[in-house]
Amino acid sequence: MQKVIKGKVYVLGDNIDTDQIIPAEHLVYSLSDPEEAKKYGHFALSGVPPAKAGLPQGNIPFIQGDANTSEFSIIVGGSNFGCGSSREHAPFALQMAGVKVVVAESYARIFYRNSVDGGFIVPLESVGKINEHFRTGNEVEVDIEHRKITNLTDGKSFELKHPGDVLPIIEAGGLFEYARTSGMIG
């Protein structure tokens, strides 16, 4: 896993739920079939209402046209990111869309656990509300090791909370791979 992730940011507000991350009508595709799995990337964040997308600058599509991946590899959100149902499809969809890291003020527990357990994306928490300091499309750098996110567009940096013991699990590709590689299971 990269310790420093640079890319364009997609900014969201509070209470982005799993039905907004991947609407239920798109859960018909196979997670294990590589061609069908691409559809999860295509439909990622397609359920976010225009009023919540691109906070505060309006409606900017996360996925352009028929693409399966987004130009945005970093998401900055508000509080309670990933609330709603417990579907593991939500962090998987973000991963398939090319998202490497989500920085939010807080997470719904199940989304956070699904992100880590599946090794899909790095969920980091900000110290305080920071999504109002970014605009969708800003160039951003997330330094996981030094626990900070920097808006390269204006040079402002913000502190991130320590990720705890989850990074080795994500680096291994999920909880079961971590257990295998660390000798916990055969």
**Single-letter amino acid, residue 108:** A
| pLDDT at 181 > cutoff 70 | yes
Q: 0.85 exceeded by the pTM?
A: yes
177 SS3 class: helix
In the chain, the N- to C-terminal Cα span, in Å, equals: 24
pLDDT in tens, 51-62: 655 454 456 889
| pLDDT at 164 > cutoff 60 | yes
Q: What is the CATH number of the domain that holds 163?
A: 3.20.19.10
pLDDT in tens, 83-133: 998 789 999 999 999 999 999 999 999 999 999 999 999 999 999 999 999
Residue 186 lies in a domain: no
Is 117:168 a contact under the CB 8 Å cutoff? no
Running DSSP on this structure, what letter comes out for residue 184?
S
> How far apart (Å, rounded) are the C-alpha atoms in residues 161 and 53?
25
Report CA Rg, the chain.
16
Q: Name beta bridge partners: 163.
A: none
Distances (CA, A) of 94 to 19, 73, 159: 13, 9, 23
Residue 121 lies in a domain: yes
Residue 172 lies in a domain: yes
pLDDT of residue 83: 96
The number of domains in the chain is 1
pLDDT of residue 5: 97
**Single-letter amino acid, residue 29:** Y
Residue 40 lies in a domain: yes
Host domain of residue 158: 4-181
> How far apart (Å, rounded) are the C-alpha atoms in residues 92 and 70?
14
pLDDT in tens, 134-144: 999 999 999 99
Residue 154 lies in a domain: yes
